[in-house]
Structure 1
Amino acid sequence: MIQQHGGNIEQLGGIIDFSANINPLGIPDGVRRAVAEAVDSIEKYPDPYCTELRMKLAGHEHISAGCIVCGNGADDLIFRIVHAFRPARALICAPTFSEYSRALSEVGCEITEHLLTEENGFGLTENILPKLDSSVDICFICTPNNPTGRLTAPDLLKKIAEKCMENETILVCDECFLDFVSGGESFSIRRFLNKNCIILKAFTKLYAMPGIRLGYAICGSSRLSERIKESGQFWSVSAIAQKAGIAALAEREYLAKTVQFLTQEYSFLARELSSAGAKVFEGAANYLLFKSRSGLGEALLSEGILIRDCQSFHGLSDGFFRTAVRTHNENIRLVSAVRRCLNG
Structure 2
Amino acid sequence: MIQQHGGNIGQLRDILDFSANINPLGAPESVKRAIAESIDCAEKYPDPYCAELRGKLAVHENISAENIVCGNGADDLIFRIVHAFKPKKAMVCAPTFTEYSRALAEVGCEVLEHILAESRDFELGEDILPKFDSSLDMCFICTPNNPSGRLAAPEILANIAEKCRDNNVILVCDECFMGFVEDSESYSLRQFMNWNCIILKAFTKLFAMAGIRLGYAVCGSSHISERIQQSGQFWSVSALAQEAGIAALDETDYVRKTVRYITEKRRFLAAELSKIGVNVYSGTANFLLFKSRTGLAEELLSQGILIRDCTNFSGLTEGFYRVAVRTHEENIRLITALRRCLNG
TM-score above 0.5, yes or no: yes
In the alignment, which residue of structure 2 is the partner of 1:317? 317
State how far apart, in whole Å, the 2-side matches of 1:182 and 1:262 are.
Answer: 10
3-state secondary structure, aligned to 2:31: helix
In the alignment, which residue of structure 2 is the partner of 1:111? 111
3-state secondary structure, aligned to 1:299: helix
3-state secondary structure, aligned to 2:92: strand
Letter matched to residue 42 of structure 2: I
3-state secondary structure, aligned to 2:69: strand
Alignment of 1:13-24 (within 5 A): 13-24=13-24
In the alignment, which residue of structure 2 is the partner of 1:188? 188
Deviations 1:313-342 (A, max 9, x none): 010011000000000000011011111100
In the alignment, which residue of structure 2 is the partner of 1:302? 302
In the alignment, which residue of structure 2 is the partner of 1:156? 156
In the alignment, which residue of structure 2 is the partner of 1:97? 97
Which TM-score applies when normalising by structure 1?
A: 0.99
State how far apart, in whole Å, the 1-side matches of 2:12 and 2:239 are.
Answer: 32
State how far apart, in whole Å, the 1-side matches of 2:317 and 2:342 are.
Answer: 19
Deviations 1:193-233 (A, max 9, x none): 01000000000011001000100000000110010011011
State how far apart, in whole Å, the 2-side matches of 1:10 and 1:102 are.
Answer: 22
In the alignment, which residue of structure 2 is the partner of 1:238? 238
| CA displacement at 1:12 relative to structure 2 | 1.2
| CA displacement at 1:301 relative to structure 2 | 0.6
State how far apart, in whole Å, the 2-side matches of 1:279 and 1:68 are.
Answer: 40
Which TM-score applies when normalising by structure 2?
A: 0.99
Letter matched to residue 245 of structure 1: G
In the alignment, which residue of structure 2 is the partner of 1:66? 66
Deviations 1:41-80 (A, max 9, x none): 1111100110000000000010000000000000000000
Letter matched to residue 203 of structure 2: F
3-state secondary structure, aligned to 1:83: helix
Alignment of 1:129-148 (within 5 A): 129-148=129-148
State how far apart, in whole Å, the 2-side matches of 1:17 and 1:181 are.
Answer: 22
State how far apart, in whole Å, the 1-side matches of 2:122 and 2:263 are.
Answer: 21
| CA displacement at 1:184 relative to structure 2 | 1.2
Q: Is residue 26 of structure 1 aligned with residue 49 of structure 2?
A: no
3-state secondary structure, aligned to 1:102: helix
Alignment of 1:125-274 (within 5 A): 125-274=125-274
| CA displacement at 1:100 relative to structure 2 | 0.2
3-state secondary structure, aligned to 1:93: strand
State how far apart, in whole Å, the 2-side matches of 1:293 and 1:277 are.
Answer: 11
Aligned residues: 344
| CA displacement at 1:10 relative to structure 2 | 2.4
Letter matched to residue 62 of structure 1: N
3-state secondary structure, aligned to 1:56: helix
Letter matched to residue 37 of structure 2: E
- Unpaired runs of at least 5, structure 2: none
Stretches (4+) displaced over 6 A: none
3-state secondary structure, aligned to 1:240: helix
| CA displacement at 1:303 relative to structure 2 | 1.1
In the alignment, which residue of structure 2 is the partner of 1:81? 81
3-state secondary structure, aligned to 2:145: coil
State how far apart, in whole Å, the 2-side matches of 1:247 and 1:229 are.
Answer: 23
State how far apart, in whole Å, the 2-side matches of 1:44 and 1:243 are.
Answer: 14
